[in-house]
Structure 1
Amino acid sequence: MSKYLVNKFLFTVDRDPELVERYRDDPRATVAWWEATQANTLLNCVGAEASTWLRFEEAEREALATHDHPALFALGAHPFLTLTLFIALFERDHEGLEYQKWYGERLSHFSLPYPDIAT
């Protein structure tokens, strides 16, 4: 599993309002597009530098494509990256802190020690 790649997806999508909307409207296609075109670009580097081997595993791809934040958490995605992106995606559909409370409730079955988030 590549926690780095999942976290890179969460980080880069969250920082681009157009990608946030694209991911909200068509998550499966956005994940496929991002994996094919962005996964192997290096963060904070010139476009000519890239790797060639990074790919999501099927469980990662499916969790991202279905907005399944508990599965992402179980896979080791950083909870702050997941939370900030998912707030951008779904908070507008809820009043007050309803979304954040629902988000937390869906993670309530996890107990210490939490999944390792080190990359």
Structure 2
Amino acid sequence: MSKYLVNKFLYTVDRDHDLTERYRTDPAGTVAWWEVEMAGTLLNAIDAERTTWLSFTDAEREALVGHDHVALFEMGAHPFLTLTLWIAMFERDHPEPLAMQLDYAARLAHVTQPYPDITT
């Protein structure tokens, strides 16, 4: 797994309202677009240095498209990045205060220490 690439996806999508909404409504299209258009330029300051070797694994792509924060965490994605993005995308679907965050945590309740390595 490229934890850096997955975390960079989560970070950049969370920082752009339009991209967050696009990911919420069209996850497959957003992941595919981001992988082609953004992944190769993230490490470099100029487009002339664009790389073509960065891509998600099938498991990463599936978890991102499926909005599966549990699988992402188990693969080593940083939980704060998924949590902040999930709040932006899904908190509105839960009428009770903190209901989304409690659901997020409940789905991770089976995970015991030591937690997956989240270093990049």
How far 1:44 sits from its partner (Å)? 7.4
In the alignment, is the contact (CA less than 8 A) between 1:35 and 1:55 conserved in 2?
A: yes
How far 1:10 sits from its partner (Å)? 0.1
Map Cα deviations across residues 43-76 of structure 1 (whole Å, 9 max, x no partner).
5723433222101000000000000000000000
* TM-score with structure 1 setting the length: 0.95
The count of aligned residue pairs is: 119
* TM-score with structure 2 setting the length: 0.94
Alignment root-mean-square deviation, CA: 1.2
- 1:50 correspondence with 2:50: yes
Q: Secondary structure at the match of 1:48?
A: helix
Aligned residue in 1 for 2:29: 29
Identity %: 68
After TM superposition, the runs of 4+ consecutive aligned structure 1 residues lying more than 4 A away are none
Of stretches 36-45 and 89-98 in structure 1, the one that deviates more from structure 2 is: 36-45
Equivalent-residue separation in structure 2 for 1:42 and 1:6 (angstroms): 12
- Any gaps of 5 or more consecutive residues in structure 1? none
Equivalent-residue separation in structure 2 for 1:32 and 1:118 (angstroms): 25
